[in-house]
Structure 1
Amino acid sequence: MSTSIRGITRESLTRPLVQISLDLTNNTEALRTAAIAVEAGADWIEVGTPLVLAEGLHAVRALRKEFADKPIIVDLKTMDGGYLEAEMMGDAGADAVIVMGQAHDATIAAVIEAGDRFGMLVMGDDLGAADRVAECARLEALGVGMVIHHIGYDHRNANPHLGLTPLTDLPGIVAATTVPVQAVGGLSIEQAVGCPAIGAPVVVFGAPLAIDGKSFSAADGDLLGVLTDACARVHATPIVYPG
């Protein structure tokens, strides 16, 4: 079965999707958590940045082998050396890689070139942009296939009084782009479930639902039950685009 998501569009997204972010630091926990998430109904599996740093290509290959029918997204947060980083992940079996909008245009172009060669979706992340709406429009113009509207962990936690949330700029970003949009960064389950109704149909669950965000270890409690309910609610939420 093909896991390619390279050609995904708003038009082809007939129902919302759930992506589980494995922000863990070893393959044993990553494989166990991924198995629970898939049983719960998750559609895509993300190799989170902590797992990329800890296990790298080994994590991509292990997940590819274990979950042959699930798209694998790798959160490289690429800032330079774009072609080589994306090529390595594509060769290991990744279906999508993430490049930062703060990278040079040449780096984004290089990642897109590798995406062309390996049939990968390239996702552009607006983390750190002063004007997030303009950044997402720029990323689409450069050729990424999906934009990620991302309010960072450190930024949020250093400024709790600001109530930072990706929901603030999400409607404007959806309106300013035509590719699929994903919103991440401190969303509650309720907020995440509501993202398709704002035009962001690929919903990410990670810390703190599935992952302990401070230790980057698997969450305690009834992960299967919580994720099963959350996945079902996401899948049942209508996608609403502007106009």
Structure 2
Amino acid sequence: MAKLQVAIDLLSTQEALELAAKVAPYVDIIELGTPLIKSEGLAVIKAMKAAHPDKLVFADFKTADTGELEAGMAFGAGADLVTILGSVDDATIIGAVKAAKEHGKGVVVDTIGVKDRVKRAQEVSKLGVEFVELHAGLDEQAAPGYSIQVLIDEAKRAGVPVSIAGGVNLNTIAAVKQAGVAVAVAGGAIYGAKDPAAAAKALREALDAA
């Protein structure tokens, strides 16, 4: 069963907690976006885990160096999952996985900016990560001609546990699930909706039905 992850790309702890309270009944993973963590620090992780102890809290650190140290910081604050950039040296990922094992948590490798996402996903999956995020960032999504179909096709070819982030919405979530993903990541489709709770509920139902 594929999990539904909400990416919270807001800038204050209060806003993040308010959004999470609305959508928590319908999601499995609550992601604290990189801008949010840069704005609020480790405190937002602690606050979110305290508010939703039954959910997986995902700290989108996008760590590029000192993997063991930064992953340990995230896990110590209550995160269940932390991201390491797929473009980094394997040693950084290995260090983060070491910290994850010590805390009983997980590492997700984010392939944002990686040219061959499928190849890199297959490589890093051998290092003990939880899953690999096939990720088109907001800047890439804004480029002319972008289509989530690229990520869907990559997920089908990867042959390892992956998530898709970059255009998951009601129109695409069925195809995302059918690509065999472990996690579907929805950001703007939820936090940008007039009624985030209704949007999350609809995505949950569509994901389960696909």
Give the structure-1-normalised TM-score: 0.81
Report whether the alignment pairs 1:210 with 2:186.
Answer: no
SS at match of 1:35: helix
Distance 1:210 1:188 in 2: 8
Q: Distance in 2 between matches of 1:26 and 1:202?
A: 25
CA deviation after TM superposition for structure 1 residue 201, in Å: 3.2
Aligned pairs for 1:106-185 within 5 A = 106-157=91-142, 159-163=143-147, 165-173=150-158, 175=159, 177=160, 180-185=161-166
Q: Is the 8 A contact 1:192 1:204 kept in 2?
A: no
Secondary structure in structure 2 of the residue aligned to 1:149? strand
1:26 aligns with 2:12: yes
Matched letter for residue 16 of structure 1: A
SS at match of 2:39: helix
Please say if residues 19 and 46 of structure 1, whose CA atoms lie closer than 8 Å, have aligned partners that are also in contact: yes
CA drift of 1:189 comes to: 2.3
Say what the alpha-carbon RMSD is for the aligned residues.
Answer: 1.5
Aligned twin of 2:170: 189
The offset of 1:29, in angstroms, is 0.6
More helix by share: 2
SS at match of 1:52: helix
Look up the match of 1:3.
Answer: none
- The alpha carbon displacement at 1:153 in A equals 1.5
Q: Is the 8 A contact 2:169 2:186 kept in 1?
A: no
CA distance in 2, matches of 1:67, 1:44: 10
Q: CA deviation at 1:220?
A: 4.9
Q: Percent same amino acid at aligned positions?
A: 32
Could you give the per-residue CA deviations for residues 32-71 of structure 1, whole angstroms, max 9, x where no partner exists? Answer: 10011113x1111111111111112111000111111111
Q: 2:194 aligns with which of 195, 209, 221?
A: 221
* Structure 1 residues 115 and 129, CA gap change in structure 2 (3 angstroms): same
Q: Deviations over 1:122-158 (max 9, x none)?
A: 111122222111110011122212111111211232x
- Which sections of structure 2, spanning at least 5 residues, go unmatched? none
Query: Matches of 2:164 and 2:2 in 1, distance apart?
Result: 13
Query: 1:160 is matched by which residue type in structure 2?
Result: P
Return the letter of the residue paired with 1:224: A
Distance 1:95 1:163, change over 3 A: closer
Is 1:231 aligned to residue 195 of structure 2? no
Residues 83 and 114, structure 1, Cα contact 8 Å, conserved in 2:
yes
1:102 matched residue in structure 2: 87
Higher relative CO (Cα under 8 Å, sequence separation at least 6) belongs to: 1
Q: How does 1:7-86 map to 2 (within 5 A)?
A: 15-39=1-25, 41-86=26-71
Taking the aligned partners of 2:173 and 2:15, their CA distance within structure 1 comes to 24
